[in-house]
Structure 1
Amino acid sequence: MDSMTVILKRLLPTVFLLAVLLTGTVLAEASPEITDARATAVYWTQRNPQGDTVLLTPSQVEATNESLRRRNDTLTDLSTMPESVSGAEVQERIEKVQAIGDFDTASQPDLYKKGSALTAYSYSFARKNCNIAALPETVTVRYGVVTRRANLRLLPEAAGWFESAGDVHYDTLQATALDPAEPVAVLGDSYDKKFAFVRTRFYDGWIAKSDFAETDRTTWEGFVHPTDFAVVTANKTTIANGAGESLLFQMGAKIPLAAGANGAKVLLMPVSDNGALKIVKRPAAFDDTLHEGFLPCTENNFVRQGFRFLGDEYGWGGLDDSVDCSSFVGDVYRSMGIELPRDADQQAKSMPKVVDLSGMGEADRLAALEACMPGTLLANNTHVMMYLGQDDDGTPIVLQSMSSWFSFGSDYGKHYLRKVIASTATFLNFSGVPYINGVHYLGSLR
């Protein structure tokens, strides 16, 4: 791209605003979504002939995960869990989770439940249901495995709490979703005995007891670090559990494997037998949705895996059986074995290579991004996107699970797109400036 083109591209937002001021007339704007060839994986993989070179070996992936855990205390290797923890630690963890949604105070939030204003009784009971008063001085850790796709909650409450009466998508109680075969460390029970407070590999929270089964530590550790395992490589897929249920799995989900009677690999599917874990063996059919072990960690696999979500619905906290911005990039990375923090504001700055963009002007930000590899994360406090590269015009293109966008023309305002899309990194943010100017960190493997 020549220097004049660069200058014109950077002046476009200013020219647009001047036109508004001088004429008082602006046209309606299109969404940031790109729908041409740039919104295909092959466009990017063909431009990167070295993109299938392995970036990290399996041992290097594990070393990277250990580094990520050191950098971010939301990540944990569950196999290091002690057999007991103090009640004070569990209380601290429960209250920290409450604070994520501002539910750590008796002050009732202005929210809606089932279309009506949240009542004082509902709020006070949800807090009471955390059962903090019943915590013993020493908590014996119990061991569980998720048996169906489950919601991890900030309070032990199944019904959604929303900021408007008509909203059904943005549940303020939702932390994240957990796939079947996900191990959890159980640290407490709710007052009504319907929920358990658990630690997972990347988040603490409350899970319905109907969604997991308990087992002994040895069996549980076979789900924490299975010797042999399958990985879901599709955006999502369903697999029969052998007990009458078809289970939904999302990209990156890990299912233990074993040798079957004829030597073929079988999936070890977790099933609840009245709350106790039962393992049912199911044939493993490896294809483009299920891979034996993690995918190789390559630049082109970041691209290919990201595009498998293209067009999927935006799913806040994993609701609507889909992905939000941070679970999107987290699932892409996990399909290659890399465990990222769950929340957008933690992901980029926990990476092995971090570029802090604070204090940089737009030209320096774009130059820093241009130097990054495909798969690099662009993040601020509320959103994260994944870099693909520059198109033929030198424009930086990203993949993202976008909730909403803003226009500044005749249709001025906020528009809900709720979709995984390809876009430029310079679409206008809520302030009317190129989005790259609001990015805090670039995070990559190298």
Structure 2
Amino acid sequence: MMLTLSCFSYMTHGASNIPDISDKQLNAQYWQQKLTQDQWMSMKNSQVKAFNQLLFTHNEHMVQPLQTADSLSKVELLGKLSRISAVPSSARFYADGTQLTQSHFQHYLDNLNTQSIKKMNAVQFGLVVKRSAMRTFPTLDKVYNEQMDLDLDRFQETAVFPGEAVAILLSSTDNKWFLVQNYNYLAWVEQEAIAIGDKQALIQYTDQSDFLMITGAKVFTSYVPNEPKISQVQLDMGVKLPLLSAGQQHKELYGQSTAGNYEVELPTRNEDGSLSFKTALIGRTQDVQQGYLEFTPKHVIAQAFKFLGERYGWGHDYNGRDCTGFVGEIYKTFGILMPRNSGQQGKGEYGTNFRFNASTEVAAKMAVIDQLQVGDLIYIPGHVMVYLGKENGQPFVIHDVKGLAYWTPDGDYYSGVLNAVSVTPLIKLQLNKQTTYLDKIYNIKRITLTSKQER
């Protein structure tokens, strides 16, 4: 899947365990007040569409699924399948400690349905109707590496969300899973989460300019009796749904007035798997926005803090997200799309990049860090952090992090677990006793329209 470090380690003073963190720093307004009046992001909202288009054109990890060819050759399809559903070279274990054998993996390989692949294979298209996991193999079985960290299911890749378009490449042998390609990932998704539709209808749906953006960590559609497909549906940050036009709106719907709600087009799945649209209601007091949020430092901070304390979820597991999911969902509220995995982001040539190598001196890194802008993305192998600002001259970040480590003022080495979206200082973080986060920073990325390499 993605990270090799699983978005690392742990810390604090008092009840929180994190050094140099006080309650006031766990508040978005505290960091927003540090901003100067003229601070702005290096890319305007008007440039976002061009930014995304450049990514789709030049970045191999970004795909416009509705531009997928209507058919794939056997070679093409098997090539895609082998990229995601390969037997790992490292040992894997079930939670009870049983090591997976070739026989175990053969069971998963048999469900890939490779025997049905023809010389040419029709591609279908669909919309996601509910948040669902994207998996290495078409199974919900959880497996782990030899460290047996039960938070890190190695078959968990990422997630898809309501309203996302996907290309459907293959059905599993048991007809319970689809191999799908969304805008930044290819993996297996349960069929019940996908509704199949006409490509042109999907293009029209996803291209609508009048839409509601989910800006809260999680928002739910209004409760509707006897309508489970549209009632209390979870919508995560970054989901966007078309708004009904003025002529389509209702005064009353589902036995209630619509005056206090937005009316959105929600994709739903019929019994035969086909797509239909239903009007769903989202309360006007919910954390939502008509159109994209303005791409400003103030909004970057606000969006990041909406996840503060959410449990870390490897590959969007635990109904949460990991470090790159955290970053991706924040930036989607501005309309900005990015590759899924930290290495794909950090090594990507998009934006303005301040790159370092193993021979880069600490002083050179600190010179760049001293000039960071709010929202800059800091990459170490397997992890990404969002720059928040300075406190007493020290840089602070917010990130979705599994654990942290640090040296105490008494010279003791502390190692523990955060397992949550957390605010931490940057310079004091350790990966182990010998290695700091600073040692491993290989890129700092500023989201800009033009690609630059700076040092």
Structure 2 residue aligned with 1:336: 334
Larger RCO, structure (CA 8 Å, separation 6 or more) = 2
> Which of 256, 263, 266 is residue 263 of structure 2 equivalent to?
266
Q: Over residues 42-101 of structure 1, what are the superposed CA-to-partner deviations in whole Å (9 max), with x where a residue is unaligned?
A: 1221121336646544430011112223442111122322222222112111111135xx
Structure 2 residue aligned with 1:81: 68
Structure 2 residue aligned with 1:397: 396
Q: Provide closer, same or farther for how the CA distance between residues 414 and 89 of structure 1 changes in structure 2, counting only shifts above 3 A.
A: farther
Whichever residue aligns with residue 63 of structure 1, its letter is: A
Structure 1 Cα separation of the partners of residues 39 and 201 of structure 2:
36
> Which of 209, 212, 223 is residue 230 of structure 1 equivalent to?
212
Structure 2 residue aligned with 1:248: 234
Structure 2 Cα separation of the partners of residues 381 and 352 of structure 1:
19
Q: Provide closer, same or farther for how the CA distance between residues 32 and 184 of structure 1 changes in structure 2, counting only shifts above 3 A.
A: farther
Q: Is the 8 A contact 1:241 1:270 kept in 2?
A: no
Aligned pairs for 1:19-58 within 5 A: 30-31=17-18, 34-50=21-37, 53=40, 55-58=42-45
Q: Is the 8 A contact 2:129 2:195 kept in 1?
A: yes
Q: Provide closer, same or farther for how the CA distance between residues 165 and 402 of structure 1 changes in structure 2, counting only shifts above 3 A.
A: closer
Structure 2 Cα separation of the partners of residues 148 and 193 of structure 1:
18
Structure 1 residue aligned with 2:303: 305
Structure 1 Cα separation of the partners of residues 95 and 121 of structure 2:
33
| Residue 360 (str. 1) matches residue 346 (str. 2) | no
* Stretches (4+) displaced over 6 A: none
Query: In terms of mean alpha carbon deviation, does 119-128 or 435-444 score higher?
Result: 119-128
The TM-score, its normalising length taken from structure 2, stands at 0.84
Q: Is the 8 A contact 1:232 1:335 kept in 2?
A: yes
Q: Is the 8 A contact 1:241 1:280 kept in 2?
A: no
Structure 2 Cα separation of the partners of residues 375 and 111 of structure 1:
38
Whichever residue aligns with residue 355 of structure 2, its letter is: D
Structure 2 residue aligned with 1:4: none
| Residue 153 (str. 1) matches residue 135 (str. 2) | yes
Count of aligned pairs: 412
| Residue 62 (str. 1) matches residue 63 (str. 2) | no
Q: Provide closer, same or farther for how the CA distance between residues 442 and 90 of structure 1 changes in structure 2, counting only shifts above 3 A.
A: same
Shift of 1:114: 6.2
Query: In terms of mean alpha carbon deviation, does 146-155 or 221-230 score higher?
Result: 221-230
Q: Provide closer, same or farther for how the CA distance between residues 45 and 75 of structure 1 changes in structure 2, counting only shifts above 3 A.
A: same
Structure 2 Cα separation of the partners of residues 223 and 152 of structure 1:
23
Whichever residue aligns with residue 417 of structure 1, its letter is: L
SS in 1 for 2:221: strand
| Residue 181 (str. 1) matches residue 163 (str. 2) | yes
Whichever residue aligns with residue 154 of structure 1, its letter is: T
Whichever residue aligns with residue 379 of structure 1, its letter is: Y
| Residue 415 (str. 1) matches residue 416 (str. 2) | yes
SS in 2 for 1:311: coil
Structure 1 Cα separation of the partners of residues 152 and 121 of structure 2:
33
Q: Is the 8 A contact 2:168 2:181 kept in 1?
A: yes
Shift of 1:157: 1.2
Whichever residue aligns with residue 44 of structure 1, its letter is: W
Shift of 1:201: 0.6
Q: Provide closer, same or farther for how the CA distance between residues 404 and 112 of structure 1 changes in structure 2, counting only shifts above 3 A.
A: same
Structure 2 residue aligned with 1:129: 111
Query: In terms of mean alpha carbon deviation, does 114-123 or 352-361 score higher?
Result: 114-123
Structure 2 Cα separation of the partners of residues 238 and 283 of structure 1:
9
Aligned pairs for 1:415-434 within 5 A: 415-426=416-427, 427-434=429-436
Shift of 1:187: 0.5
Shift of 1:32: 5.2
Structure 2 Cα separation of the partners of residues 349 and 360 of structure 1:
17
Q: Is the 8 A contact 2:222 2:282 kept in 1?
A: no
Structure 2 residue aligned with 1:171: 153
CA RMSD of aligned residues (A): 2.5
Q: Is the 8 A contact 2:269 2:275 kept in 1?
A: yes
SS in 1 for 2:61: coil
Structure 1 Cα separation of the partners of residues 334 and 223 of structure 2:
24
Gaps of 5+ in 2: 1-15, 252-258, 449-455
Structure 2 residue aligned with 1:436: 438
Shift of 1:414: 4.6
Structure 2 Cα separation of the partners of residues 31 and 356 of structure 1:
28
Structure 1 Cα separation of the partners of residues 126 and 97 of structure 2:
34
The structure with the greater share of residues assigned to helix is 1
Q: Is the 8 A contact 1:34 1:421 kept in 2?
A: no
Query: In terms of mean alpha carbon deviation, does 114-123 or 303-312 score higher?
Result: 114-123
Shift of 1:214: 1.0
Structure 2 residue aligned with 1:10: none
SS in 1 for 2:334: coil
Q: Provide closer, same or farther for how the CA distance between residues 79 and 144 of structure 1 changes in structure 2, counting only shifts above 3 A.
A: closer
Structure 1 residue aligned with 2:83: 96
Q: Provide closer, same or farther for how the CA distance between residues 408 and 445 of structure 1 changes in structure 2, counting only shifts above 3 A.
A: closer
Q: Is the 8 A contact 1:67 1:352 kept in 2?
A: no
Shift of 1:302: 1.0
SS in 2 for 1:416: coil
What is the aligned-residue identity percentage?
Answer: 26
The TM-score, its normalising length taken from structure 1, stands at 0.85
Q: Is the 8 A contact 1:112 1:164 kept in 2?
A: no
SS in 1 for 2:404: strand
